[in-house]
Amino acid sequence: MDCDAFYASVEKRDNPELRDKPVIIGGGRRGVVSTACYVARIRGVRSAMPMFQALKLCPDAVVVRPRMEVYAKISRDIRAMMQDMTPVIEPLSLDEAFMDLRGTETLHKAPPAVMLARLVNRMKDELGLTGSIGLSHNKFLAKIASDLDKPRGFSVIGQADTSRFLQGKPVRMIWGVGHATQEALSRQGIRTFDDLLRWDKEALALKFGTMGERLWSVARGMDVRPVSSSASVKSISNETTFTEDTSDLDLLHGHIWRLAEKVSDRAKAKDMAGRVAVLTVRTQNFKRLSRRVTLRDATQMADTLYHAVAPLLPQVMEQAPFRLIGVGLATLVPVDEAERTSDLLDPQAAKRKAAERAADQIRARFGTDAILKGRSLK
């Protein structure tokens, strides 16, 4: 199941005035489009497009800043509806998930196709949102099917239809085949699934490694990866794109703090902590640099994360100015394994942590902007 223009649809639902207008969800002038509604898509706006380009294509678009907490809440509601159908759910993002429906027919006394139709009806009735369904015998095909006739799509690729369906289709349909792989394939004369079928497994593996083996399988409509509900989050990160490229240390530190707070909020919501702190920047020529440090003790506190990430900034400053900065926590562990030993040399740490917990409680009651660190206002 894949929601249709999820963030934009939520905004339109909550603000009927936006219904017929082109709506773009994303950050400021120099940000990137995270979702465009279908009206905006007709004008050529796409996800991940730089905002200035989107606004050139569609100057009358209404740009709305994402309200992640709202989307997360709705995502949980949808997840709950899926739970009524099957326990084996693998979320790909807030608005997209694989479900393994094998064996559920006996339980629900209805085949998966019927259950999925009921799911999208429930989403429409209870949440006012639409989604597209792709039903097939593996993840690779289900994902393709869900994109086939969006929005409000419902596509089925059965075992018997598979090879006929893939005939003549371009390899870029394969999830994970991006521009670089497409180019490499095309140099070998591979553009469609039919081209792939002419190669044997060993030759593909030799040329493209593990990706080659996967290509061999998917060319035959095969994909053995299970729907895995246990695929836990491996990292939590947030990033921001600047209005103007910057090498201003004060500003960068302000952003690091704000992002550390966001990452920390999400870690706290999940009761997780991370053992590795990560700083990411993107340079003017779109090169992505990242620096990481392993913490002695896993943490979920914004203060600790900030103090771990801030010293990494000088390591990349040579490549400044930056157009984007990001902060993350990786190698996640449950929170009861975090911050178990305090620091002899930093006796103030306990007080700062207590202050952060108190601030969290204030935010929970009075809203996220109720209390801020001066640092984040820069």
Partner 1 sequence: MKLSIERSDLLKAVSQAQSVVERRNTIPILANVLIEAEGETAQFRATDLDIEVVDKTMAQVERAGATTVSAVTLHDIVRKLPDGALVTLTDDPIKGRLTVEAGRSNFSLATLPKEDFPVMATSEYSANFSADAPVLRRLFDKSKFAVSTEETRYYLNGVYMHVADGDGGQVLRCVATDGHRLARIDAPLPDGAETLPGVIVPRKTVGELRKLLDDDDTKIAVSVSETKVRFATPSITLTSKVIDGTFPDYTRVIPQGNTRKMEVDASDFAKAVDRVATVSSERSRAVKLSLDEDRLVLSVNSPDSGAAEEEIAVAYGDERLEIGFNAKYLLEIASQVDRENAVFLFNSSGDPTLMREGNDTSAVYVVMPMRV
Half-sphere exposure of 334 (CA within 13 A, CB side): 1
Tokens 């739970």, residue located: 83
Q: Which stretch binds partner 1 (CB under 8 A): 18-26, 201-209, 249-257, 333-341?
A: 333-341
Separation CA 69–CA 66 (nearest Å): 9
Tell whether residue 333 is a contact of partner 1 (CB under 8 A).
yes
> First vs last Cα of the chain: how many Å apart?
41
Query: Of 243 and 315, which has the nearer Cβ to partner 1?
Result: 315
Tell whether residue 168 is a contact of partner 1 (CB under 8 A).
no
Tell whether residue 342 is a contact of partner 1 (CB under 8 A).
yes
Tell whether residue 284 is a contact of partner 1 (CB under 8 A).
no
Q: Figure out which of the listed residues 87, 111, 178, 311 binds partner 1, where binding follows CB under 8 A.
A: 311
**Position 180, amino acid:** A
What x/- string results for residues 345 through 374 when contact with partner 1 is judged by CB under 8 A? xxx---------------------------
The set of catalytic residues is 96
Query: Of 234 and 365, which has the nearer Cβ to partner 1?
Result: 234
Residue 98, classed as helix, strand or coil, is strand
Q: Figure out which of the listed residues 210, 230, 285, 341 binds partner 1, where binding follows CB under 8 A.
A: 341
Q: Which stretch binds partner 1 (CB under 8 A): 7-15, 105-113, 248-256, 339-347?
A: 339-347
Separation CA 349–CA 10 (nearest Å): 41
Separation CA 193–CA 356 (nearest Å): 55
Query: Of 284 and 342, which has the nearer Cβ to partner 1?
Result: 342
Q: Which stretch binds partner 1 (CB under 8 A): 145-153, 155-163, 342-350, 356-364?
A: 342-350
What x/- string results for residues 287 through 306 when contact with partner 1 is judged by CB under 8 A? ------x--x----------
Please provide the DSSP assignment of 276-298 as one string.
EEEEEEEETT--EEEEEEEEEEE
Query: Of 214 and 253, which has the nearer Cβ to partner 1?
Result: 253
CA distances from 347 to 35, 49, 307, 335 (A): 45, 47, 15, 22
Tell whether residue 337 is a contact of partner 1 (CB under 8 A).
yes
Q: How far is CA 19 from the centre of its chain?
A: 25
Query: Of 109 and 340, which has the nearer Cβ to partner 1?
Result: 340
b/e map 313-339, b = 16+ CB within 10 Å = beebeeebebbbbbbbbbbbeebeebb
Kindly list the residues in this chain that would bind partner 1 in the complex (CB under 8 A): 293, 296, 308, 311, 333, 337, 339-347
